[in-house]
Structure 1
Amino acid sequence: MLQEGKVSVVVPIYKVEKYIHRCIDSIVNQTYENIEIILVDDGSPDNCGDIADHYQEKDSRINVIHKENGGLSDARNHGMEQVTGEYTMFVDSDDWLERDAIEVMVNHSLKFKADIVQSTFYYAHRDKLLIDNRFHEKGDAPLRLDNHSLMHELVKNDKVKNFAWGKLYKTKLIKDIPFKKGVLFEDVFWAHQVMHKVKNFLLLHHPLYYYYHRDDSIVSAYTPRNLDIIEGLKVRHVFLEMYYEELKDESYKAILKACLIHYNLLIRNRNKDKSGIHRKGIQSYIQTNYGMLKAAVKNDRQLRKQLYLFSLHPYFNITFLGIRKVLRSMKLLSQPPALKQVDFTI
């Protein structure tokens, strides 16, 4: 039986000894006190497990799970097995929260009867904070989305993000939807299954979560495992064709963007794809689905041009992007919208 009003915060922990205090302290010191904090030590080889145990000794709201290393998805799944709250949040162990984050999100969930509340967030770097204000300004009224509007925004990934973190979930929505194990970008495999069940989604135009970008994170050094995101988008595409056929073109656009980006990354990291098998896989997908991709991007001049050039030869598209970059550096082309820097000392 889930406890009314209680928020369960699941924190997977692995090799974050430098950051773990900041993360846990930001949760322990929340203004909303009816919480349980589930720290999942995913076989971390440093002192993270001992640090978590020390916090558990000091705060009865903390429950520590020690397990063999199984990856982020497996750690989250183990944490979910222990959840007892009406609400659940996921916080990655190198990130942190504003002190009133949970209180603000719970209050809005109650006021708007929302199944999920998502706040905006800061991109936190060692020496600066950035925020994406292309679609809102701080203080704008919350945005309510019904199911179809939500799924559209999820596929676009502009306002509604695929990330599991940064959201307050009604636990009953996610309790029986595990994260896919053994993949990177596990959220892409997971989010659409959750959002499919949502009737009322609320987006707060107020940053409450700090997403920390560190050089030693699992996604900073490129490997072919990063191609999991393309696989996740393809899995989601099959789901959308079944339940949201009107979003098929938007889904193809998302897959195409990912394919083009990762083809270029594979070129830049040829030593990670010496046989070219991963590049050939991307080429094959685009060639096989060219007609549907072309139809999907007919109203997107930029993607339409890139798809055409790639179909002639992938290097034509890479050359085009290189020329565009030079022209932008010479201020002969306008720069794309940039994230706004916020004055703050981390």
Structure 2
Amino acid sequence: MNIAPLVSVIMPSYNSKKYIKKAIDSVLEQTYSNFELIIVDGNSTDGTLDILDEYKKQDRRIKVIQDEGRGIGAALQLGCQIASGKFIARMDSDDIAINTRFEKQLKIFHSIPNLILVASPVIYINEDDSIVGYSFPYTNKRIIQEKVYLIAHPTVMMKKDAYVKAGGYQPLLRAEDYFLWNRMRLMGEFYIFKEPLIKYRLLQDSLSHTLDDNFNKKLGRKLESYFIKPIISEIDIIEINDFISTNLPKNRIISHMSSKRKIRLFSFLKIIFKFLPLNIFVVKFVISIKNVFGFLYVK
């Protein structure tokens, strides 16, 4: 007798041969087992598909869908359309899920009636699985609804009916997750765990050798979506000097930026905030960097 999966895990992939086994294994090793794993591959050419075929033969819960390489937004949209579970969980093809992730997220869903989305901070790892940093833990377990830019996308589990009602992922929009969270936040509560449930991989090569092509594009999208609108609506207070002196000198990720790239980054930030009062710029810049770009915090 086949039991319908309660959770549908959506994992986009493209040329993920090096890390996708660890990502899949971390899903298959979850303490909660009633799920389906939907992998949407964008025409990989590096042998990823051979790996996926082997896993699909070994475990019936795995479904492999071929896409046309239209990007992550389209892959997520397609995966969610196929999903049969009541809950949708996100997973990236190079990350590692803590083995109790699904169990803990479902437990929270069952305990809070109006809850529609659960997420967590992340542990940052490098290509060798070594820990290089942590995103900041949240002081409030239930996230303030307006602060949707704090949500780490790969950690999300959400109710499918709320996702559908909100219109789902829109592939033509940049930062499709941010726009989805903004629509969903009107429908119910969000909850952020204090402890990380995902090991999020930061690839050294992509940061040091293709920073402009990869990292800066992602950074630009986050800056555009996470800073400009939220900054006008709220101001938080933190110990700015303590944060800067404690965390910035130890940052191992920013150290991979050349001086020229650092100047370019901070020049861009100055342009964004030049029309805003200085106190808003300083406070919100540090708050947002702390929460969105959690790799600034390194133990």
Same fold (TM over 0.5): yes
Could you tell me which amino acid in structure 1 is paired with residue 49 of structure 2?
G
Structure 1 position 203 matched with structure 2 position 186: no
Q: Tell me the equivalent position of 2:145.
A: 150
Change (3 A) 1:68 1:129: same
Structure 1 position 171 matched with structure 2 position 170: no
Q: Secondary structure in 2 aligned to 1:298?
A: helix
Change (3 A) 1:201 1:220: farther
How far apart, CA to CA, are the structure 2 residues paired with 1:199 and 1:24?
A: 30
Could you tell me which amino acid in structure 2 is paired with residue 116 of structure 1?
L
Q: Secondary structure in 2 aligned to 1:10?
A: strand
Q: Deviations over 1:176-217 (max 9, x none)?
A: 22143485x5544544333x3342121211222110111344
**Counterpart contact for 1:7–1:34, Cα < 8 Å:** yes
Q: Tell me the equivalent position of 2:16.
A: 16
How far apart, CA to CA, are the structure 2 residues paired with 1:179 and 1:86?
A: 20
Could you tell me which amino acid in structure 2 is paired with residue 119 of structure 1?
S
How far apart, CA to CA, are the structure 1 residues paired with 2:207 and 2:180?
A: 19
**Residue number among 255, 261, 267 corresponding to 1:268 in the alignment:** 261
TM-score calculated relative to the size of structure 1: 0.63
Q: Tell me the equivalent position of 1:192.
A: 182
Structure 1 position 286 matched with structure 2 position 271: yes
**Counterpart contact for 2:87–2:160, Cα < 8 Å:** yes
Could you tell me which amino acid in structure 2 is paired with residue 192 of structure 1?
N
Could you tell me which amino acid in structure 2 is paired with residue 108 of structure 1?
I
**Counterpart contact for 1:10–1:91, Cα < 8 Å:** yes
**Counterpart contact for 1:92–1:165, Cα < 8 Å:** yes
Q: Secondary structure in 2 aligned to 1:11?
A: strand
Could you tell me which amino acid in structure 1 is paired with residue 76 of structure 2?
R
**Counterpart contact for 2:38–2:63, Cα < 8 Å:** yes
How far did 1:98 drift?
1.4
How far did 1:133 drift?
7.0
**Counterpart contact for 2:5–2:36, Cα < 8 Å:** no
How far apart, CA to CA, are the structure 1 residues paired with 2:297 and 2:120?
A: 20
**Counterpart contact for 2:4–2:85, Cα < 8 Å:** yes
Within 5 Å, give how 1:1-346 maps onto structure 2.
6-113=6-113, 114-125=115-126, 126=128, 128-132=130-134, 134-135=136-137, 143-145=141-143, 149-152=144-147, 154-155=148-149, 160-161=150-151, 163-175=152-164, 176-181=167-172, 186-194=176-184, 196-217=185-206, 221-223=210-212, 226-227=216-217, 229-230=219-220, 234=224, 246-247=233-234, 267-268=260-261, 286=271, 290-291=274-275, 293=276, 295=277, 297-298=278-279, 338-340=297-299
Change (3 A) 1:201 1:182: closer
How far did 1:222 drift?
2.4
User: Aligned pairs, how many?
Assistant: 264
How far did 1:224 drift?
6.2
How far apart, CA to CA, are the structure 2 residues paired with 1:302 and 1:129?
A: 28
How far did 1:118 drift?
1.3
- Percent identity (aligned): 24
Q: Deviations over 1:44-71 (max 9, x none)?
A: 0111112112211221111110122222
Give the stretch that moved more between structures: 230-239 or 168-177: 230-239
Could you tell me which amino acid in structure 2 is paired with residue 180 of structure 1?
P
Q: Secondary structure in 1 aligned to 2:195?
A: strand
**Counterpart contact for 1:188–1:233, Cα < 8 Å:** no
How far did 1:97 drift?
0.9
Give the stretch that moved more between structures: 120-129 or 86-95: 120-129
Root mean square deviation of aligned Cα: 3.9
How far apart, CA to CA, are the structure 1 residues paired with 2:179 and 2:77?
A: 14
Change (3 A) 1:198 1:215: farther
How far did 1:37 drift?
0.6
**Counterpart contact for 2:14–2:41, Cα < 8 Å:** yes
Change (3 A) 1:167 1:220: farther
Unaligned runs of 5+ in 1: 251-260, 305-336, 341-346
Unaligned runs of 5+ in 2: 237-253, 286-295
